[in-house]
């Protein structure tokens, strides 16, 4: 069966759904979202740590955070969905003078963009987070406006509103081919039918390179496994325990329910789609976690899982129209910090498609062409 649509979005995670909602809210309602899974949000969007922060090293990421977190503040009123935004603050722990110097520069940039982040001494960190063992820590940075959001609420808000506005949402509908003819995109094929369309958005998270290959393009986005552990409730854990990141170890903790969620990125993890929990890495992770947060020594694990970061060479997303074919767009490669940027990214994609160019935030530094012309500037605050 062949149907037509103004826009076909491939991928039903936060990027696909935010884009679909923002298109429909602008009046572009003949939109189809294709999701290969049985449900929406079973990719990275359903497996992340829920962190939202302004503390980035590039101006564009700081602006994406400001726009997105502002949206989350108004989400319940505007979208009719609670997202449990909690301002517990993000505390970066730094153990080298080099990192402290880099983060000092990042804080200056964040302050220039109106973000009230600050550099802290080790003494000040000790007062803010007395539960943390500060061995080796020379200083850190803090932003009280950073925190946590409920990923499922955020996604569900976009799904519900997109559906109400008339967007067609299809699960078990993998895109298996993208038709390009005469330099224009014109078709997306699934096992149960085809869609004639002048606009296709690749929003397939860690699978975006595979989807891009359907249109003959080489998107530099790699799937990298990242795993998380959550403890049982921990008596005495204070309600305002912050989101703590031991930067050089890529180790983090935050309060999850009445327990602690912790993750640690294996910087030597090879690219791949394996999402089983790596038992060896779990030992490394938990050993480091207990050393930094000794109260974890008495905790039992409640849950563990692994998901995929969608990583680009400069840890920045790839956004906007692609030069390979008219009508081909990408919104992917957020490199492990995409949940928090989903609200802004969907708005910008709708502008790019409907107005010819994203304008609420300048996304030129995030366009695909930066890799070809050597103009990419890497994000430094990556966990
Ligand atoms: C362990 C972990 C912790 C994280 N922590 C945070 C955090 O604290 N804060 C934060 O902001 N971000 C975090 N992230 C990153 C964040 O989850 C992602 O950046 C974000 O969810 C990406 O959303 P997406 O829509 O691009 O991808 P996804 O949510 O993966 O959605 C892509 C969808 O495309 C579908 N798909 C794939 N191929 C096809 C096809 N051929 N046809 C149709 N559909 C297809 C997939 O099934 C999937 O549902 C974390 C990620 C992980 C793994």
41-68 tens-digit pLDDT: 999 999 999 999 999 999 999 999 999 9
Provide the pLDDT for residue 343. 98
Which of 8, 9, 10, 13 to probe ligand 1 with, by most ligand atoms within 8 A of CB?
A: 13
Provide the pLDDT for residue 372. 81
pLDDT > 90? residue 252: yes
Sign of the C-alpha dihedral computed for residues 349, 350, 351 and 353 taken in this order: positive
pLDDT > 90? residue 1: no
Q: Which residues line ligand 1 (CB under 6 A)?
A: 10-16, 34-37, 42-45, 47-51, 174-175, 203-207, 211, 226, 228, 263, 307-310, 332, 334, 336-340
Cα end-to-end distance, the chain, whole Å = 45
Provide the pLDDT for residue 374. 76
Does residue 164 sit in helix, strand or coil? helix
Rounded to 5 degrees, what are φ and ψ at 61?
Answer: -70, -35
Q: What is the pLDDT of residues 72-112, one digit of tens each?
A: 999 999 999 999 999 999 999 999 999 999 999 999 999 99
- Cα separation of 316 and 337, whole Å? 9
Q: What is the pLDDT of residues 121-131, one digit of tens each?
A: 999 999 999 99
Percent of the chain with pLDDT over 70: 100
Tell the residue nearest (CA) to atom 35 of ligand 1.
Answer: 11
| Centre of ligand 1 from the C-alpha of residue 238, in Å | 30
Q: How confident is the model at residue 316 (pLDDT cuts 50, 70, 90)?
A: very high
> Residue 167's closest CA among 50, 34, 287?
34
| Centre of ligand 1 from the C-alpha of residue 259, in Å | 24
Which stretch of DSSP H or E encloses residue 25? helix 14-25
Tell the residue nearest (CA) to atom 9 of ligand 1.
Answer: 51
Q: Atom of ligand 1 at shortest distance to CA of 335?
A: 19
Q: How confident is the model at residue 306 (pLDDT cuts 50, 70, 90)?
A: very high
User: Beta strand 177-181 with 184-190: parallel, antiparallel or unpaired?
Assistant: antiparallel
Sign of the C-alpha dihedral computed for residues 156, 345, 383 and 369 taken in this order: positive
For the chain, give the number of residues: 383
Half-sphere exposure (Cβ direction) of 167: Cα atoms closer than 13 Å: 29
- Cα separation of 292 and 135, whole Å? 8
Provide the pLDDT for residue 176. 98
DSSP state string for 184-197: EEEEEEETTEEEE-
| Centre of ligand 1 from the C-alpha of residue 135, in Å | 35
Q: Atom of ligand 1 at shortest distance to CA of 336?
A: 15
pLDDT > 90? residue 256: yes
| Centre of ligand 1 from the C-alpha of residue 45, in Å | 4
- Cα separation of 51 and 66, whole Å? 14
Provide the pLDDT for residue 283. 96
Provide the pLDDT for residue 376. 75
Percent of the chain with pLDDT over 90: 97
Q: Atom of ligand 1 at shortest distance to CA of 227?
A: 1
Tell the residue nearest (CA) to atom 50 of ligand 1.
Answer: 48
Exposure of 240 by Cβ count < 10 A (0-12 exposed, 13-18 middle, 19+ buried)?
Answer: exposed
Sign of the C-alpha dihedral computed for residues 217, 355, 203 and 365 taken in this order: positive
Q: Atom of ligand 1 at shortest distance to CA of 226?
A: 1
Provide the pLDDT for residue 2. 80
The pTM assigned to this predicted structure is: 0.97
Q: What is the pLDDT of residues 295-305, one digit of tens each?
A: 999 999 999 99
Tokens matching residue 332: 């992917």
């Amino acid at each position: 069966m062949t149907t037509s649509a103004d826009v076909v979005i491939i991928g039903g995670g936060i990027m696909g759904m935010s884009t679909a909602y923002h298109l429909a809210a602008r009046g572009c309602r003949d939109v189809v979202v294709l999701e290969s899974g049985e449900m929406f949000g079973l990719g990275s969007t359903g497996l992340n740590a829920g962190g939202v922060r302004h503390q980035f090293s590039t101006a564009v990421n700081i602006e994406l955070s400001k726009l997105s977190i502002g949206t989350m503040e108004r989400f319940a009123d505007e979208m009719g969905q609670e997202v449990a935004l909690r301002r517990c603050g993000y505390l970066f722990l730094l153990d080298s003078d080099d990192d402290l110097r880099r983060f000092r520069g990042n804080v200056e940039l964040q302050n220039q963009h109106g973000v009230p982040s600050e550099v802290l001494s080790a003494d000040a960190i000790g007062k803010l987070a007395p539960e943390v063992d500060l061995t080796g820590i020379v200083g850190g940075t803090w932003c009280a406006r950073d925190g946590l959001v409920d990923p499922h609420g955020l996604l569900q808000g976009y799904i519900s509103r997109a559906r109400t506005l008339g967007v067609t949402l299809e699960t078990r509908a993998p895109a298996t081919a993208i038709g390009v003819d005469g330099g224009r995109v014109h078709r997306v094929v699934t096992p149960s039918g085809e869609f004639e369309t002048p606009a296709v958005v690749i929003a397939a998270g860690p699978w975006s390179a595979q989807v891009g290959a359907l249109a003959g393009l080489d998107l530099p986005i790699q799937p990298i496994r990242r795993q998380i552990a959550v403890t049982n409730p921990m008596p005495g854990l204070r309600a305002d325990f912050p989101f703590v990141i031991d930067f050089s170890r890529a180790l983090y903790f935050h309060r999850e329910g009445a327990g602690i969620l912790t993750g640690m990125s294996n910087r030597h993890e090879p690219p791949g789609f394996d999402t089983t929990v790596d038992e060896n890495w779990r030992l490394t992770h938990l050993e480091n976690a207990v050393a930094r947060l000794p109260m974890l020594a008495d905790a039992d694990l409640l849950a563990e899982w692994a998901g995929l970061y969608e990583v680009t060479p400069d840890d920045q997303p790839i956004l906007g129209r692609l030069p390979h074919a008219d009508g081909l767009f990408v919104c992917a490669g957020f490199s492990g910090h995409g949940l928090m940027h989903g609200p802004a990214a969907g708005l910008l994609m709708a502008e790019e498609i409907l107005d010819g160019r994203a304008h609420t935030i300048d996304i030129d530094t995030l366009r695909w062409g930066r890799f070809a012309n050597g103009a990419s500037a890497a994000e430094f605050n990556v966990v």
